[in-house]
Amino acid sequence: MYGSIWCHNLNLSSRNLAIALVVCVTLVYFSYSFNACILASISRSLQESTLSNLLMLQVRNDSDTVATVATAASTAIDVVATNASANGVSTATNLSTTASTIDFSAGLASVDGAPKYQMLRQQGLRPSRHLPDTLIIGVKKSGTRALLEFIRLHPDVRAAGSEVHFFDRHYQRGLRWYRHHMPYTIEGQITMEKTPSYFVTKEVPQRVYHMNTATKLLIVVRDPVTRAISDYTQAASKKADMKRFEQLAFVNGSYSVVDTNWGPVKIGVYARFLEHWLLYFPLSQLLFISGERLIMDPAYEIGRVQDFLGLKRVVTEKHFYFNATKGFPCLFKSEARSTPHCLGKTKGRNHPHIDTNAIDRLREFYRPFNNKFYQLTGINFAWP
């Protein structure tokens, strides 16, 4: 009898043990899945934020920072890989692979069909440098920096921060050199560069055409008289004993003959330079932005630019505020800074007083060229 009770108890405890085991295994399984899911999600977030940081890193005023960006990006990805490793989950392996397979040194968009790259590409995680699709070619002192800073607020626009001067000064270095100065982009992002002297340099249209006939060209223009004064103000800020504007803008000291060889005056004859660009590019590939309107209504002009580039209108009036002290629109935040800020001190300088007779004479000089420019572009900028 004791034997059968013992046997019964034994059966009972074996069953309990089996049930307990099943419960334990189930718990362990669910706990593992849950943890793995959380860790994978954390790793993914880390990975995404690092890549987005990497792509947000923009070069500002010095082309040397391109190299710094690449180094910083590489380091950032290493850090993620290390973090993931510390988590001890399988995704760490993937992240390490990411870090080692992104080629930061080559400066070329390499094509690799291996499965491990395919997955990364599907996730859009293969940043590489590309030649620009869009150029801000000028015009100097018309608001080219403002345009670049405003349009690069768009997540699908990546720009070289410094003026690369490839097509006018460094052409002999070749396209590989040029591409190396471009920021990293992922699929679907536009690569942009601005060098205002491109507009007025004779060889540039043909060179851009040879790089890519489909290049989109952005041109900011401003009343050529104010532009000339702005140009002069910049030059005078760098040279203590600069002659007065009136002495430089005219031949022989009187206001009768305009000195068309003087750079600040010459650049304002927009029609002459535009005609040269139109030998290589159809008007439909050029977008003209009013420098005056870029100050008065930046959202409007940036809206036009986004449409022209086939981008969703992401940059809107919400991004801008008018700084009354500076007298210019400024940004609530940008890629470089998360606090409200304006463009640098060299943008929006006070101009010296210029004799009104000199201004009137210059206006008269520019009028036929302006009219020609309105005719070529199909836009009346209504400069005085």
CA distances from 86 to 48, 72, 93 (A): 18, 21, 11
Which residues between 267 and 296 bind ligand PPS (CB under 6 A)? 294-295
Of 149 and 246, which CB lies nearer to ligand PPS in the complex structure? 149
Contacts of 252 (CB under 8 A, 6+ apart): none
Report the residue from 57, 146, 265, 315 that binds ligand PPS according to the rule CB under 6 A.
Answer: 146
Q: Active site residue: 116, 140, 141, 372, which one?
A: 141
Which residues between 12 and 51 bind ligand PPS (CB under 6 A)? none
**Per-residue exposure over 257-294, b if at least 16 CB sit within 10 Å of its own CB, e if not:** ebeeebebbbbbbbbebbebbeebbeeebbbbbbbbbb
Ligand-binding annotation for 145, yes or no, is yes
Of 69 and 229, which CB lies nearer to ligand PPS in the complex structure? 229
Helix, strand, coil % over all residues of the chain, rounded to 5 = 55, 10, 35
Q: Which amino acid is at 276?
A: H
Which residues between 227 and 256 bind ligand PPS (CB under 6 A)? 230, 233
Of 138 and 205, which CB lies nearer to ligand PPS in the complex structure? 138
Give the separation between CA 40 and CA 231, rounded to whole angstroms: 55
Of 84 and 354, which CB lies nearer to ligand PPS in the complex structure? 354
For the question of residue 141 being annotated catalytic, the response is yes
For residue 310, the minimal CB distance to ligand PPS (Å) is: 24
Instruction: For the chain, state the CA radius of gyration.
Output: 30
Closest listed residue to residue 145, CA positions, set 298, 272, 353: 298
- What are 373's two structure tokens? 């420019």
Ligand-binding annotation for 185, yes or no, is no
Phi and psi at 212, nearest 5°, equal -160, 115
Angle between helices 270-277 and 356-377 (to 10 degrees): 20
The answer to whether residues 215 and 286 touch, using CB atoms and an 8 Å cutoff, is no
For residue 165, the minimal CB distance to ligand PPS (Å) is: 12
Q: What is the dihedral sign for C-alpha 9, 13, 14, 15?
A: positive
| Alpha carbons within 13 A on the beta-carbon side of 145 | 18
Give the separation between CA 374 and CA 379, rounded to whole angstroms: 5
Say whether residue 154 binds ligand PPS (CB under 6 A).
Answer: no
Say whether residue 329 binds ligand PPS (CB under 6 A).
Answer: yes
Report the residue from 348, 361, 365, 373 that binds ligand PPS according to the rule CB under 6 A.
Answer: 348
Q: What number of chain residues touch ligand PPS (CB under 6 A)? A: 19
Which residues between 157 and 186 bind ligand PPS (CB under 6 A)? none
* Range in contact with ligand PPS (rule: CB under 6 A) among 8-16, 40-48, 247-255, 347-355: 347-355
Sheet containing 157-159, strands listed edge to edge, beginning at the edge strand earlier in sequence: 157-159, 190-194, 134-138, 216-221, 286-290
The answer to whether residues 211 and 127 touch, using CB atoms and an 8 Å cutoff, is no
Report the residue from 145, 180, 216, 319 that binds ligand PPS according to the rule CB under 6 A.
Answer: 145
Say whether residue 152 binds ligand PPS (CB under 6 A).
Answer: no
Report the residue from 107, 143, 161, 183 that binds ligand PPS according to the rule CB under 6 A.
Answer: 143
* Range in contact with ligand PPS (rule: CB under 6 A) among 63-71, 142-150, 208-216, 267-275: 142-150
Of 349 and 367, which CB lies nearer to ligand PPS in the complex structure? 349
DSSP state of 324: T
Ligand-binding annotation for 326, yes or no, is no
Q: Which residues are catalytic?
A: 141
Q: Which residues are annotated as a binding site for 3'-phosphoadenylyl sulfate?
A: 141-145, 222, 230, 347-351
Q: Which residues are annotated as a binding site?
A: 141-145, 222, 230, 347-351
Chain residues that interact with ligand PPS, rule: CB under 6 A: 140-146, 196, 230, 233, 294-295, 328-329, 342-343, 347-349
